[in-house]
Amino acid sequence: MNVAVASEPTAAADLGAVFHLQREAARREISVAAAVRKDRLRRLLALVTDKTPDFEAAIDADFGHRSRHETRLAEAFVVESAIKHALRRLDRWMRPKRIATELPFWPGMNRLMPQPLGVVGVISPWNYPLQLTLAPVVGALAAGNRVMIKPSELSPHFAHLLASAVGERYAADEISVVVGGADVAQGFAALPFDHLVFTGSTRVGRLVAEAAARNLTPVTLELGGKSPAIVDRSADLAVAAQRIAYGKLLNAGQTCIAPDYVLCPRGQEESFAEHFFRAAHRLYGTDPQNPDYTAIVSDAHYDRLAALLAEAHDKGARSDARTSQAETWKRLRKFPPNLVFATTDAMRVRQEEIFGPILPIVPYESAAEAIAFVNARERPLALYWFGRDGAAREHVLRETVSGGVTVNDCLLHIAQENQPFGGVGASGMGAYHGEWGFRTFSKEKPVFYRPRASGTRLLHPPYGARFESLLALLRRVT
């Protein structure tokens, strides 16, 4: 397939017109029937299913090389599963929920009624452009909203393909995709959305939150950070290393929840390295031309990774890559897996989210030391724990705070549609996926139904002895 990039991106000046078209439609159709929502979801499912080969080609072109199997598994399959999950449960999600009523208000009733917010904006990243664009769209459509999407300018082939595919299946007042560079993204974030979702770096997330705050627009920020993998002394080191290798090297480490560093029991670092490279070579071999291993998305990101490694070397760290053909790796813009030892907090590999196949190994003496190391840093988007000691596991879960956790593996918590996915602190705010996404993109409106007969009128003026007696009684029974 030839992937063409459209020559004219959407102008920033056009954003307002698209937004107002959607807002007017949302105001006309406040109550969105289940059948309408399901139709929009089914069209999205058909779009993903029909266009998956084209998305694979487009994303491959954007990366320079992206494993099509990774695109199918980590992107198309995840989105399809999310849509099917929502379709099976939407009727239940939409039902008003009966809420308990306190004794003084009996026989009145409380109900919680979910309603669409209106227009949801989605600013998506380049690293998993299909999944991280459409996963929040699933929740927004299930909740009955209109959606505007701004894909990353670093994935232009994907962005234009998505815009074309959406335009074929949706009216502009249902879903619209706008493409362009930083000026379009800035204008997009400044629109008065009813909710705005941003997935990307913490630095840009702050700018998006500032822009949204001017409109009092609530935001869901899915950011990143330095997600630790803690290898407990009770762990099977070979198993832990194999699973960490897969979690780190999927998409060549360009994953927001990839393990960013490993906390390894002191004295086991070299053994961990042996197991890690044995697993990495079994997964991807040592030839940079292996089609299963993904390229770094741009020269700038490749150079950034090289600079991180060079700076660590200059400050006394040691790295291990166990590969040759350095020029071929660079020509293909593929970065070989690197373990880094003897790092310090003065090095950027310990300060910045790496977002590539570089993995610092940090030794620790005790579980308390490992926990303290994690807690001395910004709260991560993900945390991974490996071991067989249940008490040690629960201690780490209680004493650390992170966006999500997978125990004895990596990445898998993001695929749980019955659980929320989201960050905390510098790794983000808010959550979506499954019913959590439905609720994020809904206004859950509390409604109290006053009964025909109600004692509350006895608390009305004129105040006197009756008021005092009744209030004293209410204080005793509540």
Active site residues: 222, 256
Beta bridge partners of residue 359, listed in sequence order: 339
Q: For residue 206, what are the contacts with CB-CB under 8 A and spacing of at least 6?
A: none
* C-beta atoms surrounding 250 within 10 Å: 22
Q: For residue 15, what are the contacts with CB-CB under 8 A and spacing of at least 6?
A: 178, 184, 187, 188, 191
As a whole number of angstroms, the distance between CA 306 and CA 293 comes to: 18
Burial of 384 (0-12, 13-18, 19+ CB in 10 A): buried
Residue 116 phi, psi (nearest 5): -60, 145
Q: For residue 241, what are the contacts with CB-CB under 8 A and spacing of at least 6?
A: 272, 275, 276, 278, 279
Residues shown for the chain: 478
Q: Which two tokens stand for residue 280?
A: 């990495």
b/e burial code for range 347-383 (CB count within 10 A of at least 16 → b) = bbbbeebbbbbbbbbbbbeebeebbebbeeeebbbbb
- Report the candidate in 226, 321, 236 with the shortest Cα–Cα distance to residue 272: 236
- Round to the nearest angstrom and report the end-to-end CA distance of the chain: 69
The per-type count for the chain, helices as H runs and strands as E runs, is 16, 16
Q: For residue 105, what are the contacts with CB-CB under 8 A and spacing of at least 6?
A: 448, 454, 456
Q: For residue 416, what are the contacts with CB-CB under 8 A and spacing of at least 6?
A: 433, 434
Residue 356 phi, psi (nearest 5): -175, 180
Q: Is 181 helix (H, G, I), strand (E, B) or coil?
A: coil
Separation of CA 335 from chain center:
24
Angle between helix 129-142 and 156-169 (nearest 10): 30
Q: Which two tokens stand for residue 312?
A: 């660590």
Residue 319 phi, psi (nearest 5): -115, 160
